[in-house]
Amino acid sequence: MPVNMEFKARVAGLADARLWLQSQHARFVGTDEQVDVYFRVPEGRLKLRMGHIERALIYYRREENAAIRQSDVWLYPVQDAQTLKQLLAACLGILGEVHKKREIYFIGQTKFHLDEVSGLGFFVEAEVIDDSAIVDKQQMEQLAAYYRDSLHIAADQLVQASYLDLILAANDK
């Protein structure tokens, strides 16, 4: 199972992060309109990402804390997301959906997301990715901290919950 060291931060807008990524010559993959459909599972999270750039079934487990955190992720590319959605909905039930516009960038093995999430606002995410499970987790955490600092993200901007949890909490109010 690949390991990520990641953070998510709520920001007022995306322009500063975009300018910083451009100044670092980050590779821009594109802007994706995504719908993440979350299914009911006993542990972790299972979501089907449906976008034009990214289409995958994703299972992850992580501690929900407002810090740099480890996330264990399985990602399975899919072609026919609608049929898979119907199958998983029938078997597991849908927990909820997240609609977002996502800009995707890479610097080396680190993936950056600049997200505009419907009903929530703007977020910056960084995932230091280790597909081989060989890299030192402490080095991965240090690299994530470097990117957090470079993006001028303060501790009080870090978000512990998933987008779905934030949406569910907002709907409960």
Tens digits of per-residue pLDDT, 35-93? 999 999 999 999 999 999 999 999 999 887 778 998 888 999 999 999 999 999 999 99
Q: What is the pLDDT of residue 63?
A: 80
Domain of residue 127, CATH code:
2.40.320.10
- Quick check: 57 and 78 in contact, CB under 8 A? yes
Please tell me the total count of domains within the chain. 1
Task: Quote the domain boundaries for residue 56.
Answer: 3-172
Q: Is the pTM of this model over 0.85?
A: yes
63 against 122, higher pLDDT: 122
Q: Which residues contact 49 (CB under 8 A, 6 or more apart)?
A: 34, 35, 36, 55, 56, 57, 58, 81
Q: What is the pLDDT of residue 65?
A: 77
